[in-house]
């Protein structure tokens, strides 16, 4: 049986409140250059639980869809926050949320993939896989893709739940607790694994297009050799960008997986792309900016060291991250300067934030879902 480290990221970084002598940097004292305002708040059930769970909401058309750890799934109006429906799958949820035109998808620790009606929340079908689903299932409307903690990727018929194909990777015994959410297009699935590989598969039959290793274990102990890809790949034009724990940040050719550039770096999260710049939150809380075309490092911000940052996100042209105390930081992507900060959830934020147009949606660990926007302040 695989040995999984539940909270290695926090242990290595010096968990807040653990008595470790290495302490997180304090919340920076800054003069706001923009103002963060909350449009609405809603409660998503009982929140994410205490086992470092991440459940990223999903936006589709006029709705935003979110889930809690206890098995409840919600649909809200993305503009007003009004609840449209609430459903329960009567099982814990560890993977979610995925959404398509017809359905909302979640995964469970017992390996159930569950499809609910996007309009009503009524259950449509369930499918069984081999192990826990930690990543949000993804669908292009034809196929649904689910990735499991034991290194398998499954393709299911989006209408019926019939299994169409599966692909398996061999994983090391020691990994971080987490699974990168696969990226799905009409023709391909791009996925990252705990063995340091990124692969591209056919979404139709699961056939392998290419695979590329972006991290290799080094050292004499299992802990020193530990590598992992917990952050989703990012597709942009002819490039795939990815990052890994104790590995590299890389740019790859989307057609064949050939590495265009790489930079030694360590991250638990997927990168974010804003214009021609790529941003990575390192495992120590440093934030890196790269020139996306060449991999040249442009700046590093170390103000948030050891604050257990969320994945970076593009928010109306700003760079945003959140931390373990629930602060959201608005950052100038050109200069790396923190422009403003606001506390959204005192229990912290670890799930990826999502944005659309000029609104950012933040799901806190205790289940508070907030829609926020920023206003420029006069100089």
User: What's the pLDDT score for residue 174?
Assistant: 62
- State residue 175's pLDDT score: 64
Positions in the chain short of pLDDT 50: 1-19
Entry pTM = 0.92
Per-position DSSP letters for 146-198, written without gaps between them = EE-TTSEEEEEETTT--EEEEEE----SEEES--PPPEE-SSEEEEE-TTSEE
- The pLDDT, as a whole number, for residue 223 is 74
Would you call 362 helix, strand, or coil by DSSP? strand
What lies within 8 Å, CB to CB, of 23 at 6+ separation is: 14, 16, 306
CA atoms of 231 and 135, how far apart (whole Å): 10
Q: In what order do the strands lie in the sheet with 368-376?
A: 34-43, 368-376, 359-363, 354-356
How many angstroms separate the CA atoms of 185 and 138, rounded?
10
Burial grade of 16 (CB within 10 A; 0-12, 13-18, 19 or more):
middle
Measuring CA to CA, how many Å separate 118 from each of 64, 66, 181, 274? 10, 12, 20, 30
The pLDDT assigned to 220 comes to 65
Residues 226-271 pLDDT 10s: 777 888 999 999 999 999 998 899 999 999 999 999 999 999 999 9
**What pLDDT score was predicted for residue 13?**
41
pLDDT tens-digit readout, 311-346: 999 999 999 999 999 999 999 999 999 999 999 999
Would you state the pLDDT for residue 230?
87
Q: Taking Cα atoms as reference points, which of 179, 207, 334 lies closest to residue 268?
A: 179
């Amino acid at each position: 049986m695989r040995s999984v480290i539940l909270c290695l990221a926090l242990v290595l970084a010096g968990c807040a409140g653990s008595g470790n002598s290495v302490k997180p940097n304090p919340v920076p004292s800054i003069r706001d250059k923009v103002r963060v305002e909350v449009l609405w708040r809603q409660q998503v059930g009982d929140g994410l639980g205490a086992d470092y769970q991440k459940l990223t909401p999903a936006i589709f058309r006029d709705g935003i869809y979110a889930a809690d750890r206890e098995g409840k799934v919600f649909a809200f109006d993305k503009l007003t926050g009004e609840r449209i429906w609430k459903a329960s799958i009567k099982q814990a949820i560890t993977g979610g949320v995925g959404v398509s035109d017809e359905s909302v998808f979640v995964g469970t620790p017992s390996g159930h993939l569950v499809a609910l009606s996007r309009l009503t929340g009524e259950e449509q079908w369930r499918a069984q896989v081999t192990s826990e689903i930690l990543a949000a299932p993804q669908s292009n409307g034809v196929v649904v893709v689910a990735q499991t903690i034991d290194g398998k990727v499954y393709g299911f018929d989006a209408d019926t739940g019939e299994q169409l194909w599966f692909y398996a990777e061999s994983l090391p015994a020691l990994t971080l607790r987490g699974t990168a959410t696969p990226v799905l297009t009409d023709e391909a699935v791009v996925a990252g694994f705990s063995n340091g590989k990124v692969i591209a598969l056919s979404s139709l039959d699961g056939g392998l297009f290419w695979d590329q290793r972006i991290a290799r274990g080094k050292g004499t102990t299992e802990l020193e050799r530990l590598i992992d890809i917990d952050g989703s790949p990012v597709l942009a034009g002819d490039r795939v960008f990815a990052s890994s724990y104790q590995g590299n940040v890389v740019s790859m050719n989307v057609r064949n997986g050939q590495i265009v550039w790489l930079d030694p770096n360590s991250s638990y999260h997927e990168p974010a792309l804003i214009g021609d710049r790529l941003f990575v939150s390192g495992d120590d809380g440093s934030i890196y900016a790269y020139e996306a075309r060449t991999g040249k490092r442009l700046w590093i911000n170390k103000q948030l060291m050891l604050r257990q940052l969320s994945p970076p996100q593009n928010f109306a042209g700003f760079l945003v991250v959140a931390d373990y105390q629930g602060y959201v930081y608005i950052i100038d992507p050109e200069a790396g300067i923190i422009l403003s900060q606001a506390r959204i959830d005192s229990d912290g934020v670890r799930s990826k934030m999502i944005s659309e147009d000029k609104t950012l949606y933040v799901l806190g660990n205790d289940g508070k879902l907030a829609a926020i926007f920023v206003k420029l302040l006069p100089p």
